[in-house]
Chain A
Amino acid sequence: MRISKAWIVAAKDIRVFLRKRYTIYSLVVFPIIIGIGLPFVLNVVISKQGALLSTQHLTDLMSAFAFFFAIGASVIPTLLASYSLVGEKVEKSLEPLLAAPITDSELLLGKGIGAFFPSIGSLYIGSIVFMVLSDLFTHSTLGYYYFPNWTIGILLLILMPLLSVLSVEWSVIVSARATDPRAAQLQGVLIAIPLFFIYVATEVGAIKLNTTTIWIISGAAFIADIILFFLSTKTFQREEILTKWN
């Protein structure tokens, strides 16, 4: 496999994403809401509860909010990958692309990279903003800067990339049957549902989001990545694409 070929496809996709208003919104809105909005929620919680707020509750809340970036990592690449794959289908650009000297796996990798890097990049920027603002608002209450810590480190550097890959693979499978990018995106975001359950479980106290939990979720995501990799590569074969994707 030639990575250079995959990069050519990825660079083209990223260029296309940056010219579509919808994909720009997908990349910008979520990280802004989470990166700026949630620290302000923390600020409101601190100012309303004051001395009644325990530091344990506050740090649990901060970890739970940080988990939104994991959810974002499973949603945003889906939005881009679906747009890219179904977009090629709608624009009927797959046939000349598949006639070029590029293998199925190089093309799939290119599509993955094209959706992965802008998504993870925007989420990392959002997470930096989130950590800085959260630390600013909570320092006086906690007496120390909560972020960065091991939990968010593993979340950002291990779990989020794994979920992004999962999200892209899922999009490939979903895109095979979808004829409209929006429909593919709607089906694509279903991958985030288990993560919402985990978030709710942390909020009701059923799960504590610490380093161990993030490692366990990462392990599950890794296994899911491998399973979906085989399914997506089976789906993404030029003959399948040309004869069954239409």
Chain B
Amino acid sequence: MISVENLTRKFGELTAVEGLTFQVEEGEVFGFLGPNGAGKTTTVRMLCCLISKTSGDARINDYHIGKEADSLQIRKMIGLVPDNVGLYDDLSAFENLDFYGKLYECTEGRRKENIERFLKMLELWDRKDARAGSFSKGMKQKLALARALVHEPKILFMDEPTANLDPESAKTVRDFIMEIKKQGRTIFLNTHNLDEAQRICDRIGIIKTKLLSIGTPEQLRKSLAGPKTVIRLAQASEAMANSLRKLIPNKFEVSDNKLLIDVTDPDKENPSIIAAITSIGGQVREVTQLVPTLEEVYLQIVKETK
């Protein structure tokens, strides 16, 4: 659905985005994580045909960005929620959506149906005739989401959709994203929010001018360091640890009656580790799995580029 190959964008001497290569499949929620100035917005703007690329290529459903004739086709099939909501404050919620519906060539019937459906889903239907300027930040963000969906795009680009929202509004927006994910739309989500990325995204790309890492949240967490199995024992001694080292190949540390054991495949390795411990007289009290958080992975990857 989205295919990016070696995409680069320079602003004079400054390279905003360099050599991006990735693909986003149909129906996938793809998260783009990165610090401020990492090139997330520039990437979205290039993919939405708002700014040109310096080199490389990107295709959206086989339409190439940068080709004038293809740009209009791409714009028809995408929806954009920019980092600034950019609503017309003097128009009502309904008028804002109706204007965009017309621009996207929706028929009157479809327009009205979609406006009603999305405003109801976002709990804004009762305020449809109120000026957008009178809305709270959260309501404006929800209205911007409805605007991006009014023509039912196949792909939705969202640039920090929950930034600066209160927790309740952020949750409504996140729930709504999950709802549209169920409808099978492809979502490209720029975010700072690691928890949000972990909860919503099928795959995540970590960017800082270049794409530093890409994978499912699970793969990313495992990529930093393998998972660890934590085994709490009734009593752990150095002598026992030495005996255990002869029985299992895994590296481990002993601390406070706990063994922190490096594993590559916990499901396969844990039973034999536990068997080894019990064979040397260890009494297992608790077994837990320790996996690095996405935040730890993100901070580590970004730190390594400094």
List chain A positions with a Cβ less than 8 A from chain B. 5, 8-9, 12, 15-16, 19-20, 91-103, 238-239, 242-243
Contact = CB atoms under 8 A, between A and B. Distances in A.
Interface residues of B, number: 31
A5 B100 CA distance: 11
A235 to B, nearest CB: 16
Interface in B39-74: 45, 48-52, 72
A240 to B, nearest CB: 10
Interface string B185-207: 00000000000000000000000
Given A239-B52, A243-B11, A243-B51, A102 B89 contact: no
Nearest to A241: B50
Contacts of B179: none
Interface in B93-121: 95, 99-100, 102-105
Task: Please classify the interface of chain A as helix (H, G, I), strand (E, B), loop, or mixed, using the class held by over half of its residues.
Answer: helix
A101 B75 contact: yes
A101 B86 contact: no
A242 B104 CA distance: 21
B139 interface: no
B14 to A, nearest CB: 12
B91 interface: yes
A185 B88 CA distance: 20
A93 to B, nearest CB: 4
A98 B91 contact: no
B147 A96 contact: yes
Contacts of A103: 72
Interface of B: 11, 45, 48-52, 72, 75-76, 78, 80, 82, 84-91, 95, 99-100, 102-105, 144, 147-148
A99 B75 contact: yes
Nearest to B78: A99
A15 B91 CA distance: 8
Nearest to B86: A93
Nearest to B72: A101
B103 A92 contact: no
A96 B80 contact: yes
Contacts of B90: 15-16, 19-20
Given A16-B91, A243-B51, A92 B104 contact: no
Nearest to A7: B102
A44 to B, nearest CB: 41
B80 A91 contact: no
B95 A239 contact: no
A243 B91 CA distance: 26
Contacts of B78: 99
A169 B280 CA distance: 87
A8 B102 contact: yes
